[in-house]
Amino acid sequence: MYRQTYVEIDLDKIQKNIETIKDKYSKYKYYFGVVKNNAYSHGIESITAMINGGINYLAVSSLEEALKIREINKEIQVLVLEPISIEAAKTAAENNITITIDDTENMDLLIKNHIKIKFHLKIDSGMNRFGLKDKEKVNYIVNESNNDQYLEGIYTHLSTGREGSKYYKRQINNFKCLTQDIDLSNIEIVHLDRSLTMEQHEKIEFANGVRLGIAMYGFSEQAVKPSWKRRLLNKLTFKKTIIQESKLKLETAFIFKTHVMEVKNVKKGEIVGYGGTYIAKSDMKIALLPYGFADYLYNNMGNVYIKGKEYKTISINMDVTTIQVDDNVQVGDEVEVFGDKISLRRKAGEVNQNVYKLLASITTRVPRVYKYKEITKEIKY
């Protein structure tokens, strides 16, 4: 690469995380790897390590993402989680991609156009995103399915899953009510749980699939500290704040790295960056780093890590970030923006976002460098 800014992905850790999850939660038959948004910014090339770790079905947001997978792997089963048009369904069928159906009109069009395809029926159990909320329509689609339009699975998305959540129980009950006329044991795949609910609750008896998203990448939901709003609410209502220890020992695989481009001296009173937003209070030394908010949106005035020490950011431009340094920092030094010494959770907290949004904000102009089984490979976008 020419610009020494990239994300390093340790695929061995992703594979190990999945093996750890499967060992702890071994009662499922289908383990879906959710790889939407370029595998949560880890890169779709991560799927090889996922499959080797035990993922036997992949899930994506759009058909475009599913077709990207097909460029890498022709065999792994892929489910598109969002409903797609009939024209898109034809393309999905040609590429052995499973689609989601959540309305009777699309089901009728599949039949009318003689599209032979596998599909999963989406139930809206209370999140009010995609899915059916009408039992008669659910029954209609189940009854109309056949060898050509093969109903492979039924699923829902649980909007909340914290232990003791009444809404979680309500959604499970809604799912049961909407599918009560169906013998779920005759459905090949039934999946409701995701990473969070898998950890927080006992396995749902009639489900044999689980969708693994953020957990694959090393983030255990049970270890999350409650937000300050939740802690305050608990205090006001005399509820005890409990921070649960995760049952899983997972490792994050993602490190955002760059290198020092230049080091220069700045005199007291001189400005740094656009608009004079930083004025040197004394003679100082700065380093220029080749990344900015065009590389990840939530770039902030937090610290970076160089040779065993943290250094403060003082200016951010589209392509360049400036930090205050000392004589220990030299041109060419490796810089960790976040990922290992400065965790993603910490960085996300500094910008008042969650890890999902932080990862999603990293643009595809940042190359991914993969480490897997002692082999290093760079992927440019």
**Per-residue pLDDT tens digits for 55-107:** 999 999 999 999 999 999 999 999 999 999 999 999 999 999 999 999 999 99
Rounded to an integer, what distance in angstroms lies between the CA atom of residue 316 and that of residue 221?
31
Concatenated DSSP letters for 129-145? SSSB--HHHHHHHHHH-
Report the mean per-residue pLDDT for the chain. 92
What 108-111 contacts at long range (C-beta under 8 Å, 24+ apart), as own/partner pairs, is 108/144, 110/86, 110/149, 111/144, 111/148, 111/149
Annotated domain spans of the chain: 11-236, 254-379
128's CB contacts (< 8 A; 6+ apart) are none
Measured at the alpha carbon of residue 161, what is the angle toward residues 159 and 166, in degrees to the nearest 5? 90
pTM over 0.85: yes
Say how far apart CA 189 and CA 150 lie, in whole Å: 12
The contacts of residue 229 (CB under 8 Å, 6+ apart) are: none
Q: With 80 as the cut, is the pLDDT of residue 381 above it? A: no
> 95 Cβ partners below 8 Å, 6+ apart?
66, 67, 70
CATH architecture of 254-379: Beta Barrel (2.40)
Structure-block tokens of residue 119: 């599909």
Mean pLDDT of 41-58: 97
**What pLDDT does 238 receive?**
61
Instruction: Quickly state the pLDDT bin for 240 (edges 50, 70, 90).
Output: low
**CA gyration radius for the chain?**
24
- Strands 6-10 and 368-372, bridge-based pairing: parallel
Which pairs with CB-CB distance under 8 Å and at least 24 residues apart come from 374-378?
377/45, 378/1, 378/6
CB 96 within 8 A of CB 107: no
Residue 165, SS3? coil
Q: Among positive and negative, which fits the CA dihedral 168, 229, 254, 62?
A: positive
Kindly give the interhelix angle for 166-178 and 135-144, rounded to the nearest 10 degrees: 50
Cα dihedral 244, 248, 251, 253 in deg (nearest 10): -100
Q: Decide if domain 11-236 falls under CATH 3.20.20.10.
A: yes
Tell me whether the CATH fold assigned to 11-236 matches the one assigned to 254-379: no
Q: What is the pLDDT of residue 243?
A: 46
